[in-house]
Structure 1
Amino acid sequence: MRPISVAIDGPAGAGKSTVARQVAEHLHLTYVDTGAMYRAVTFEALRLDVDVTDEGAVARLAKHMDIALKPSKGEVDVFVNGRQVTRDIRTPEVTSHVSAVAGNPQVRKILVKKQREMGKNGGVVMDGRDIGTHVLPDAELKVFLTASIDERAQRRYEELVRKGYRVDWDQLKEEIRLRDEKDQNRKHSPLKPAEDAIHLDTTGRSVPEVVQAILELSRTKVGGGE
């Protein structure tokens, strides 16, 4: 019997990556962080002084990149052409430029092909912004996570501060608002819930609570029982 696939979508800061990673661990499935793949392309473009708004140049770069996601001590390490970039792709500089790369239709085509290959046999928990609508439209369980913009900004702020970055909260909130706007209004694979997605508002809810809710959905939706 083919193992299930779980698609988790939602805006920046909704808690997708943290939740998806833990859900995958509980269900003994493979976690695929698609956002890390777009960040990896963004980081490489910035490192090589490639203009992130030059769609053709960034697409050529992405086409020849080897991006690998490898589980490590409950986390996921990201490698580009064999070099670990796990921390590099989470810098504020990458965050402020990733929308341009994620909105590049040529890059999306390249990465979606890789993502579908990862999920073709099922057994994955994949998070992003167009997983349920575009990447894995046949996923057995689709979840759309949301949270208030203030809560999402606070989560991202605390994450960056823990990593040693100095961040302006108001500026960060504005960047998230703009990211939402760009993601929702881009022409190719915009951020929107799949028609059969289950909505979960994570405002005021802890990570374990959200994880448990999705685990319960996986049992009832797929009929796995207790």
Structure 2
Amino acid sequence: MHTIVTVDGPSGVGKGTLAQLLCDYTGFHFLDSGAIYRTLAYGVIAKNIDLANMPELVNLAESLPVIFESGRVLFDGKDITTAIRNEEVAAMASKVAAIPEVRAALLQRQKDFAQAPGLVADGRDMGTIVFPKAHAKLFLKASAEVRAERRVNQLKNQGVTVNIAQITRDIMERDERDQNRSVSPLVPAQDAFIIDTSDLNIDQVFEKAKEFLQKRGI
């Protein structure tokens, strides 16, 4: 099996940034599983698919026309890199991710990203379900308040005015949904190295993660 590093955790803990840094450090490929679910959510919204319409949902998941190219996400050839980061898509992604049939349809697609020389997989169940035999598993966490503040600052930098109280509520609701879904709930793998990023900057998080990988011979 190719060397696999998983980085799991809820939204706003710094998974994506850490995963990219680990890719630069190791030279491994990158899997942003969240972007896959967000792309599916984008498709559900764009095509106005009812979440009760299981055949249509599964068909879209199995044939999802997504391409990751030079940091961009393309859906049917359309650049949706920015579009999949809005709150409507994020909320829909959390809903479709709770549907067992959808997760099953996307499972093999995610596994296919594991190629030489290795893979850094960023998500919510990478170390528990998708790559349970990964060589190194990381799980990031942070308080909902800290994560909401980070999200607000991110949106402000994009020129978007938001309500931090509403963002905090949205994050807590998403956590509740992700942690309590019947399939692939958001929990750390038993052998995961847990990092609380609430009071750490990304350089400090990277150093902790790098030390862990080095202990694992990566």
Match of 2:174 in 1: 179
Gap regions ≥5 residues in structure 2: none
- Paired residues, number: 218
C-alpha separation in 2, matches of 1:173 and 1:56: 34
Once the two structures are overlaid, the 10-residue window that deviates more, 32-41 or 100-109, is: 100-109
CA drift at 1:77: 1.2
Structure 1 residues 182-201: aligned runs within 5 Å: 182-201=177-196
C-alpha separation in 1, matches of 2:53 and 2:209: 39
Q: What root-mean-square deviation, in Å, do the aligned CA atoms of Structure 1 and Structure 2 show?
A: 1.6
The answer to whether residue 166 in structure 2 is matched with residue 167 in structure 1 is no
Structure 1 residues 19-168: aligned runs within 5 Å: 19-52=18-51, 54-70=53-69, 72=70, 76-119=71-114, 121=116, 123-168=118-163
Give the percent of matched residue pairs that are identical in Structure 1 and Structure 2. 35
Gap regions ≥5 residues in structure 1: none
CA drift at 1:56: 3.5
C-alpha separation in 2, matches of 1:3 and 1:212: 23
TM-score (norm 2): 0.94
C-alpha separation in 2, matches of 1:211 and 1:185: 29
- In the TM superposition, structure 1's runs of 4+ consecutive aligned residues that sit over 3 Å from their partners are 52-56
CA drift at 1:57: 2.6
User: Deviation digits for residues 163-216 of structure 1, max 9, x if unmatched?
Assistant: 222211101100100111110110111101111111110011011111121111
Distance 1:13 1:169, change over 3 A: same
